[in-house]
Amino acid sequence: MYDVLIIGGGLVGSSLACALEPLGLRVGMVEATPGTGHGASGPPAFDERNLALAAASLNALDALGVLSRLATPPAPIRRIHVSRRGDLGAVRLDAREFGRDAFGGVVVARDLGAALEARLAGLATLRRHRPAVLTGLEVGEDHVEVAVSGVGPDAGTESRLHARLLVAADGTASPVRSAMGIATDDHDYGQTLFVCSLAAARAPDGTAWERFSDSGPIALLPRPDGHYGAIIGVPTEDADAVAEFPDADYLALFQQRFGGRAGRLIRAAGAAATRSVVALPGSSWRRAWCWSEMPPRPCTRSAPRASTSVCATR
Ligand SMILES: Cc1cc2nc3c(=O)[nH]c(=O)nc-3n(C[C@H](O)[C@H](O)[C@H](O)COP(=O)(O)OP(=O)(O)OC[C@H]3O[C@@H](n4cnc5c(N)ncnc54)[C@H](O)[C@@H]3O)c2cc1C
């Protein structure tokens, strides 16, 4: 019997497992993906997306012993500039005016995933069931019984786990939520996000840029590798066409939507230059391109539906 059984080993589930360590509880975690390294892929959210984390989140990750395991420290967000195309004026925030060094920092989700993985590997109180998926659950008087099936090399193995507390950290499409019959109100923003890293004529100076337009939002975030983490939202009906854009047209789209505040945008060099597409609710696919010296190489995999909040908050 576990004290706490966490379903999902993404950002939330992994962080929670770290936070529970000092309590000495028996903690279990069920995660569908096989893990990182040796060609195995980890949770889908640990991809090339750029995570802008508030200072409070960075403090929490530091206290959990995760931040020190990042290969590269977060890039500080010292200023935030928000504007809307066609409107006069802008919101400018400077951390110094609030007596702070930075509002937060930017990490690449892939790097944060690796740091969390390294931290989880050292948790004596955690038992991981992986790769395995929750297939059903029953709520009893004082415990929950969970049916778990192995996947991949463990396909065909079935087990039943028992826990005093079940935590649903299984993402936007949460199978736990479905199994519990908890309904949701979904809103489709009709936007598809493209994520990549870009270089610019002017190197990032700690400013996080956000710009809104009638076609969707765009953000340029300072990345730890000295590039910009770029996110652009396009109307979903245009997404297939944008996905096929040659690099020059793709860059031109960012430049036209963002304008010249960061100078001329240029292709980022090296392995960090990855272009990926994240479909928002309404679609259930994800595609990624390796954008290096090789021609674009599509790879398709299914993914849970992504969060809708991104467009509103980026
Ligand atoms: C392009 C983009 C940019 C973003 N930028 C930011 C940002 O700047 N700042 C920020 O704070 N957030 C950002 N987000 C949001 C952030 O990525 C998510 O909020 C976060 O990943 C959610 O974490 P989670 O652990 O709840 O879910 P997930 O990361 O989705 O993890 C869920 C886990 O559950 C597992 N799972 C699912 N079903 C089962 C099952 N039946 N059995 C076992 N395991 C299962 C999955 O394999 C997965 O590993 C961004 C999102 C996107 C798409």
CA of 256 to the centre of ligand 1 (A): 30
Residue 304 DSSP class: P
User: What values do phi and psi take at 240, rounded to 5?
Assistant: -60, -40
Closest atom, ligand 1, to C-alpha of 14: 25
CA 135 to ligand 1: nearest atom: 41
Task: Give pLDDT, residue 271.
Answer: 33
CB of 116 shorter than 6 A to ligand 1: no
Percentage of the chain exceeding pLDDT 70: 83
- pLDDT-based confidence at residue 249 (cuts at 50, 70, 90): confident
Higher pLDDT among residues 147 and 302, named by residue: 147
Residues contacting residue 125 through CB under 8 Å, at least 6 positions apart: 20, 21, 24, 25, 26, 27
Q: Which residue from 111, 54, 49 is spatially nearest to 80, judged by alpha carbons?
A: 54
Residues 110-149: tens digit of each pLDDT: 899 999 999 999 999 899 999 999 999 999 999 999 999 9
The 3-state DSSP class for residue 37 equals strand
Whether the CB of 8 sits within 6 Å of ligand 1: yes
The single-letter code of the amino acid at 139 is V
119 closest CA partner among 20, 224, 8, 40: 20
| Residue tagged 């598809």 (tokens) | 192
Q: What is the pLDDT of residues 47-60, one digit of tens each?
A: 778 899 999 999 99
Distances (CA, A) of 84 to 81, 91, 103, 264: 10, 10, 21, 19
CATH class assigned to 187-313: alpha beta
Architecture of the domain whose range is 2-46+115-179: 3-Layer(bba) Sandwich (3.50)
Neighbours of 63 (CB within 10 A): 11
Which residues partner with 146 through β-bridges? 137, 161
Residue 220 is encoded by which pair of tokens? Answer: 């340029």
- pLDDT single digits (tens) 196-224: 888 888 889 999 999 999 888 999 999 98
> Does the Cβ of 29 fall within 6 Å of ligand 1?
no
Interatomic CA distance for residues 222 and 72, integer angstroms? 13
What was the pLDDT predicted at 297?
34
pLDDT tens across 10-40, in order? 999 999 999 999 999 999 999 998 876 555 5
295/185 Cα distance (integer angstroms): 41
Q: Which two tokens stand for residue 118?
A: 């390294």
pLDDT-derived band at 275, boundaries 50, 70, 90:
low
Q: Ligand 1 centre from 141 Cα, in Å?
A: 31
* Number of residues assigned to the chain: 314
The per-residue pLDDT for range 79-113, each reduced to its tens digit, is: 999 999 888 889 999 999 999 999 999 998 889 99
pLDDT tens profile 254-267? 999 998 888 888 87
What is the rounded distance in angstroms from the CA atom of residue 224 to the CA atom of residue 218? Answer: 19
How does pLDDT run across 167-190, given as a tens digit for each residue?
999 998 899 999 999 998 888 888
Q: How far away, in angstroms, is 69 Cα from ligand 1 center?
A: 20
Is any atom of ligand 1 closer than 6 Å to the C-beta of 206?
no
**Given this model, what pLDDT does residue 114 score?**
92
CA of 259 to the centre of ligand 1 (A): 31
C-beta 31 within 6 A of ligand 1: yes
In a mutational test of the pocket of ligand 1, which residue from 18, 31, 285 has the highest number of ligand atoms less than 8 Å from its CB? Answer: 31
The candidate with the shortest Cα–Cα distance to 192, out of 149, 239, 152, is 239
Which of 310, 311, 313, 314 has most ligand 1 atoms within 8 Å of its beta carbon, as the pocket-test mutant? 310
Find the 277 Cα to ligand 1 centroid distance in Å: 15
Nearest CA to ligand 1 atom 13: 51
Tell me the domain boundaries of the chain.
2-46+115-179, 187-313
Averaged pLDDT, 285-304: 32
Q: Is residue 57 exposed (0-12), middle (13-18) or buried (19+ Cβ within 10 Å)?
A: middle
Q: Which range is most confident: 127-141, 267-281, 297-311? A: 127-141
In this predicted structure, what is the pLDDT of residue 225?
Answer: 84
Please state, in angstroms and as integers, the Cα–Cα distance from residue 196 to each residue in 16, 25, 107, following that order.
Answer: 29, 40, 13
**pTM of the predicted model as reported, rounded to 2 decimal places:** 0.83
Taking the centre of ligand 1 as the mean of its atom positions, its distance from the CA of residue 87, in whole angstroms, is 33
List strands edge to edge, sheet with 50-54.
50-54, 104-108, 75-77
Decide whether any atom of ligand 1 lies within 6 Å of the 170 Cβ: yes
